[in-house]
Amino acid sequence: MAARNMWKSYLLWCANEHVSFRIPEVESVLAMYKIPHTWIEKPEENPWMLISMPSEDCAVKLMKRCVTVRSIIELWAQSTTKEHLDDQLKTLPAEFTSYFKKENKFKVVVDIFNKVISQEEKIQKIESFSYLPILGSANLKNPDVTYYYYEFFGLDAGRIPENPFNYFFGRWISDSERTAVAKYSLKTRHFIGNTSMDPQLSMIMANLAQIDNGHIVVDPFVGTGSLLVAAAHFGGYVCGTDIDYLTIHGRMKPTRAHQKKRQPNEDIKGNLKTYNLFSRYLDVFVGDASTPVWRSNFRFDSIITDPPYGIRESTYKVGSKKIAPIPDEMLSTHFPSKTQYGLGDIYKDLLNFAANSLKLHGRLVFWIPIIRMEYDPDLLPEHPCLETIANSEQILNLHSSRRLITMQKIMEPKEAEDSAIIHNLQYTFRHKFFNTSEIKGHGKEDESARNLTKRSKRGNGIAKLPCDK
């Protein structure tokens, strides 16, 4: 391993969405692959992060997993003024100038954040680096070396400064795994439903869960299996359960515009076959998350899930206030009665399931809905066997959001008392979501919140609501 003073600096240029998930995802991948590193800068909102690593191989390994980052650049110079940036580039060490060889075809990419410039202006910026002794010929389609020049004009689109706040220049190393986001787009997916998870968020969850080749992954609220697709993409063997018989078997009402009925093979299995991931498919079956059916000595590597919130999907479990035996002749065709399944009970059962069924150091990644004005991180669900690793927010509207929680199993349960601690946090979420007049300062949003459930098939044919569940 190279000495730290021999490490190189790298610029992570990030995508401009899901900002709060950037750092947790990158840190999760770094930890999963045990990549040595030192953070130089990791601003929470700015579209870049600076990191020091021993080699280019580490940079490539990191990019093979990340989806919140667009690309990684070997950083040659950075400054808050163009003059200082030029001074740094004019005195580059020999290890960098070796790329200026005559046989190397090259191209220069100009990327401007928060300002639109013309192609002529981009060419002028490229020509401003004419002092670099690049001997090769330009080749835009198949270069041997690609140089990147970035300018950052801040985050306020209403107040764009005359000059950039930051300048960066370096050599492109690798793009990220973001091409897979388009591959698994819900617009073209074989089987979807009202609660199908966005592919980028699904892949972020898989990265936070540190899913790798050969891992066994389960989703106890599997729905249409979006999370299984992401887990299988990264090498996991996937399975899941859901209490909704119609969803599991692909028999619920179609959610695409102009589609009148489901196709015979339109189900989770069909999705994985479409993406050539069927070899990673174990099975999915109808099951009640409140009463797990797995063997007590079986251990999963990861659990990733998006429990229902009671907004677009009901929260229920098997149960009945009536106690009556079922005649033997009716058992084969009997469907159990269902009863309401409160959010508090859902998260209590989920955390207890994770504590008992995860391998040691395995991860649980799940969403929890939040009324923003009442949010208190100390009131999130807890378990003595699980440690919270990451907590990121996705804002849904002015008063509601959901948080993606990542927990890691740190010890095995030893006593009956080792169970989940469920605080009085947002477990009247559905009631408050539709009655926002109870939330101070948001009384006028009551009707708009109700209208959210009336939105239906539009745009690409997928119902778009603020909550996935």
260-308 pLDDT tens trace: 677 778 889 999 999 999 999 999 999 998 888 899 899 999 999 999 8
432-458 pLDDT tens trace: 666 665 555 444 444 444 444 343 333
409-424 pLDDT tens trace: 999 998 655 688 887 6
Nearest 5°: the CA angle 91, 96, 102 is 105
87-102 pLDDT tens trace: 999 999 999 999 999 9
Q: Is the distance from CB of 129 to CB of 108 less than 8 angstroms?
A: yes
Ranking 163-167, 318-322, 355-359, 390-394 by mean pLDDT, the lowest is 318-322
Q: How far is CA 255 from CA 13, 191, 222, 453, in A?
A: 36, 10, 17, 14
Q: For a pLDDT cut of 90, what percent of the chain falls above it?
A: 66
The mean per-residue pLDDT over the stretch 104-117 comes to: 96
Q: How far is CA 148 from CA 85, 175, 216, 345, in A?
A: 13, 12, 40, 51
2-44 pLDDT tens trace: 567 789 999 999 999 999 999 999 999 999 999 999 999 999 8
pLDDT at 360: 97
464 closest CA partner among 200, 282, 244, 198: 198
34-78 pLDDT tens trace: 999 999 999 989 999 999 999 999 999 999 999 999 999 999 999
Q: List CB contacts of 248: < 8 A, sequence separation 6 or more.
A: 222, 242, 267, 268, 284, 285, 286
pLDDT at 448: 42
pLDDT at 188: 87
pLDDT at 379: 87
The mean per-residue pLDDT over the stretch 367-374 comes to: 90
Confidence of residue 463 (pLDDT cuts 50, 70, 90): very low
Confidence of residue 255 (pLDDT cuts 50, 70, 90): confident
CATH number belonging to the domain at 4-177, selected among 3.40.50.300, 3.30.2130.30, 3.40.50.2300, 3.30.70.120: 3.30.2130.30
pLDDT at 426: 47
pLDDT mean across residues, the chain: 86
Q: What is the 3-state secondary structure (H, E, C) of 377-436?
A: HHHCCEECCEEEEEEEEEECCCCEEEEEEEEEECCCCCCCCCCCECCCCCCCHHHHHHCH
427 closest CA partner among 348, 364, 366, 353: 348
Q: For a pLDDT cut of 70, what percent of the chain falls above it?
A: 82
Are 4-177 and 182-318+335-454 the same fold in CATH?
no
pLDDT at 251: 73
Burial of 170 (0-12, 13-18, 19+ CB in 10 A): buried
185-207 pLDDT tens trace: 998 898 888 889 999 999 999 99
146 closest CA partner among 62, 71, 69: 71
Q: How far, in Å, CA of 258 to CA of 7, rounded?
A: 56
pLDDT at 427: 52
Q: How far, in Å, CA of 164 to CA of 466, rounded?
A: 35
Burial of 299 (0-12, 13-18, 19+ CB in 10 A): middle
Give Rg (Cα) of the chain.
Answer: 25
pLDDT at 316: 61
Higher pLDDT, 344 or 351: 351
Confidence of residue 232 (pLDDT cuts 50, 70, 90): very high
Domain chopping of the chain, boundaries: 4-177, 182-318+335-454
* CATH class of residue range 182-318+335-454: alpha beta
Could you give the 3-state DSSP secondary structure of residue 318?
Answer: strand
Q: How far, in Å, CA of 281 to CA of 357, rounded?
A: 19
Neighbours of 407 (CB within 10 A): 28
Give the residue carrying structure tokens 């069909």.
270
Q: List CB contacts of 34: < 8 A, sequence separation 6 or more.
A: none
466 closest CA partner among 381, 367, 384: 367
Query: Is the pTM higher than 0.85?
Result: yes
pLDDT at 3: 67
